[in-house]
Amino acid sequence: MKAIVITTGGGPEVLQLQQVEDPELKDDEVLIKVEATALNRADTLQRKGSYPPPKGASPYPGLECSGTIQAVGKNVLGWRVGDQVCALLSGGGYAEKVAVPAGQVLPIPLGVSLKEAAGLPEVACTVWSTVFMMSRLSARETFLVHGGSSGIGTFAIQIAKSKGATVFATAGNEEKLAFCKSLGADLCINYKTEDFVACIKEETGGKGVDVILDCIGAAYLQRNLDSLNFDGRLCIIGLQGGAVTEIKLNTLFPKRLTVQGAALRPRNPENKAMVVNEVEKNVWPEIVAGKVKPIIYKSFPLSEAGEAHKLMESNEHIGKILLVP
């Protein structure tokens, strides 16, 4: 098969389409003929050499895909050759075929095309596991997502609104802010020209928000804590603003704040299967009902993976970027 190989750590130009061996199918896996895969920020970090794949995972990038099952391992129940599916991967999505544990496979939701479904597994599993399973966002609570126009952000806005939360989002220009508003965000904050802490305090009558999903890390940590309500929960899923900082610990005590961190890729297959199962039960019905949809910005041929990475790193996109073998 053909796959995108990271020839050496570096810029987008190190991504090369090459002929490689087909994946070996284990007894608890299915083999998927890839219809499309979607970019994630982790792919760019892996390309640079700073986020290696977990032990035993495919060396090729790609953390999600959609496609058609070509083969099933002898211990697999519930999936058959010919089923159209999407899947959460530990790697290997930038290829014509990928093997994945059966517990990480999802049906295509009614009303979503096979190609578009490639942009669902990673965002759905990330947002549901962090915002809802860990941080327990509930109806009538307030929720802030940073990077509201990203793949994670556009999904988080929609699913939080569908579950009855009030949603605030940050983004960096008027086009992105307007798009967040169109998805249902109640307050959209331009982080380049506005102080998000002050905006949130004003909007909430000084209380702050109940849950924050943050992809920035160090640069926002103290301001995120200052933005939380009593019993507020901060979940950090990215470090785009650095990994090391100082905070005032006395911020935590009076408001009983919780700071959490999470990543999907390092989880073991059993944990991923549990998350995938929860997503199918809780998120898929919202997609079928039309309350949540995949937001696809642009598709590239697999051979142009480098161009797709340039677009992601320019931060000009809204939603997900796809690669199609």
| Mean pLDDT across 55-66 | 96
- Mean pLDDT (the chain) is 98
| Residue 284: band (very low, low, confident or very high) from pLDDT cuts 50, 70, 90 | very high
| Residue 90: band (very low, low, confident or very high) from pLDDT cuts 50, 70, 90 | very high
pLDDT by residue (tens digit) across 202-235?
999 999 999 999 999 999 999 999 999 999 999 9
pLDDT of 166: 98
pTM above 0.85, yes or no: yes
Domains and CATH numbers, the chain: 2-121+267-323 (3.90.180.10), 135-261 (3.40.50.720)
| Residue 71: band (very low, low, confident or very high) from pLDDT cuts 50, 70, 90 | very high
pLDDT of 21: 97
For the chain, give the percent of residues with pLDDT over 70: 100
| Residue 64: band (very low, low, confident or very high) from pLDDT cuts 50, 70, 90 | very high
pLDDT by residue (tens digit) across 307-324?
999 999 999 999 999 999
pLDDT of 45: 97
| Mean pLDDT across 139-164 | 98
Three-state secondary structure of the chain: CEEEEECCCCCHHHEEEEECCCCCCCCCEEEEEEEEEECCHHHHHHHHCCCCCCCCCCCCCCCEEEEEEEEECCCCCCCCCCCEEEEECCCCCCECEEEEEHHHEEECCCCCCCCHHHHCHHHHHHHHHHHHHHCCCCCCCEEEECCCCEHHHHHHHHHHHHCCCEEEEEECCHHHHHHHHHCCCCEEEECCCCCHHHHHHHHCCCCCEEEEEECCCHHHHHHHHHCEEEEEEEEECCCCCCCCCCCCHHHHHHHCCEEEECCCCCCCHHHHHHHHHHHHHHCHHHHHCCCCCCCEEEEEEHHHHHHHHHHHHHCCCCEEEEEEC
pLDDT of 197: 98
| Mean pLDDT across 124-129 | 98
pLDDT of 114: 98
pLDDT of 116: 98
